[in-house]
Amino acid sequence: MDLNLRGRKALITGGSKGIGRACAEILASEGCALHLAARNEADLRQTREMIESEFGVSVTIHPVDLSQGDNTRALAGACPEIDILVNNAGAIPRGDLWQIEET
C-alpha cells in the first residue's frame, strides 16, 4: 500500500517492541525516516538494525524514560521537524486527567 509518506519523518514512542515496533516497520516500508524512543537501549539498537537493513531508511534511536517530563521535553527538542507522531509509550497512572500530576 502506498500512503504517500516517502520522505516523511516519524517519531514513535515505545518503538522497540509490540505495537510501536509494528508501526515503525509499516512506516519504514512506506519510506519514512524514523525516530524511535523507548527505555531499553539494547532493544532499540536491535530494532534499528533490522529496520535499516530491511527497509533502507534512516533510524535514530532515543533511549529515554518518558515518564519524566524533562525527558519528554528533551525528546521533543531532539525531534523538532517530525511529520508523524505515534505516541505509544505505556505506564499510564490511574485516575482522571484532573488527578494525574507530572512526575
* 19-31 per-position pLDDT tens digit: 999 999 999 999 9
The CATH number of whichever domain residue 33 belongs to comes to 3.40.50.720
- The answer to the question of residue 101 being in a domain is no
Terminal Cα distance for the chain, rounded: 41
Q: Tell me the H-state helices in 1-103.
A: 18-29, 41-55, 69-78
pTM, 2 dp: 0.88
- The answer to the question of residue 96 being in a domain is no
- The answer to the question of residue 99 being in a domain is no
- The answer to the question of residue 35 being in a domain is yes
CA distance 42 to 5: 28
For 40-96, how does the pLDDT look when each residue is reduced to its tens digit (9 = 90+)? 999 999 999 999 999 999 999 999 999 888 999 999 999 999 999 999 887 666 667
- The answer to the question of residue 23 being in a domain is yes
CA distance 3 to 62: 26
Instruction: Scan for cell 516497520, then name that residue.
Output: 25
- The answer to the question of residue 34 being in a domain is yes
pLDDT at 100: 66
CA distance 76 to 97: 22
Please give the tally of structural domains in the chain: 1
- The answer to the question of residue 33 being in a domain is yes
CA angle 55, 44, 74 (to 5 degrees): 110
